[in-house]
Amino acid sequence: YHYEDNLVMVGFVVHLNYENPYLYPYMEFQRFKHHPMVAELLDGGKRISYGARAISEGGWQSLPELSFDGGVLLGCSAGMVNVPRIKGNHNAMLSGIEAAEAAARAIAAGREGDRLTDYDAAVRTGAIGQDLRKVRNVKPAWSRYGLWPSLVLGGMDMWGAGLTGRNILRTWKHGKTDAEATGKAVDFKPIDYPRPDGRLSFDRLTNVAFSFTNHEESQPCHLRLKDPTIPIRVNLPEYAEPAQRYCPAGVYEVVEDASGPRFVINFQNCVHCKTCDIKDPSQNIVWTTPQGGDGPNYPNM
């Protein structure tokens, strides 16, 4: 994305249903920046900010119930992202409009604190639902068949929907969760990533400083383990403990000392991407809200 004053924003999306537990999303991003077309844009520049966030890619099939007593879910909190366009701002704004109109109708009718069920219906039958239905099979196709077959199948489906208003293919289910898609370490080889050069690519902890994240060190850790023994007892031997790699902020480490390997959580580094809650193969990590609104402070993202 190009902005005024020579400002460039570069993003990189890694689908979290990847199988290889040795895959390192952060380092994939650093390697991507060395592609000649990208490097040409960044060479001579200065980094000013860094951040990361898990994107809700479930789309139409994964829309939850959108209203509850006294409130509603809007935008990306409900998964209203158009996956092939990697875009959700338009639906976030539309959902805000629909919610405001539903709330206005409820207030005019003298209702208070109940469910705005007409908001749910408006989202599913209106412009948001139409947008998500057209692309509903793109993500399941990627997960099932890989890049090239899914481009053909998804393209045909979207072309048919654009031409006739109806999808050619039936609605596909997503299948496995991202955590379940993680393969065993024995079936894969570690990936040798180039060392960051400090010019286009940078080490993870140095970049975390540019997220301006902050958590009071005396507060309770907001990243909770259901079973503290699982990272070393299960995840390390079976999956090479992928938390060391999937976290974009270096929160999780396996440290070797005289007593053996030890799992360390550096919660102060957390940028609130919530990847750990999604990708942990044992579903042992629970992301909770830290105290006092602590977390990243993105000035221009």
Run means of pLDDT, 10 residues per run, the chain, 301 residues: 90 95 98 96 94 92 94 94 91 97 95 91 96 88 78 75 71 89 98 96 96 93 98 98 98 95 97 98 97 88 71
Tokens for 96, please give them. Answer: 């805000």
Domain 2-53+183-293: give its CATH code.
Answer: 3.30.70.20
- 259-291 as b/e: b if 16+ CB within 10 A: eeeebebbbbbbbbbebbbbbbbbebbebeebe
pLDDT at 300: 76
Nearest to 84 by CA among 171, 183, 157, 166: 157
Q: Please tell me the pTM assigned to this model.
A: 0.88
Cα–Cα dist 252/250, whole Å? 6
d(C-alpha 93, C-alpha 230), whole Å: 41
Find the helix or strand (DSSP H, E) in which 276 lies: helix 275-279
Distances (CA, A) of 54 to 33, 157, 242: 20, 26, 16
Can you read off the two tokens belonging to residue 156? 């045909």
Predicted pLDDT of residue 164: 67
Token pair in block for residue 211 = 């997220």
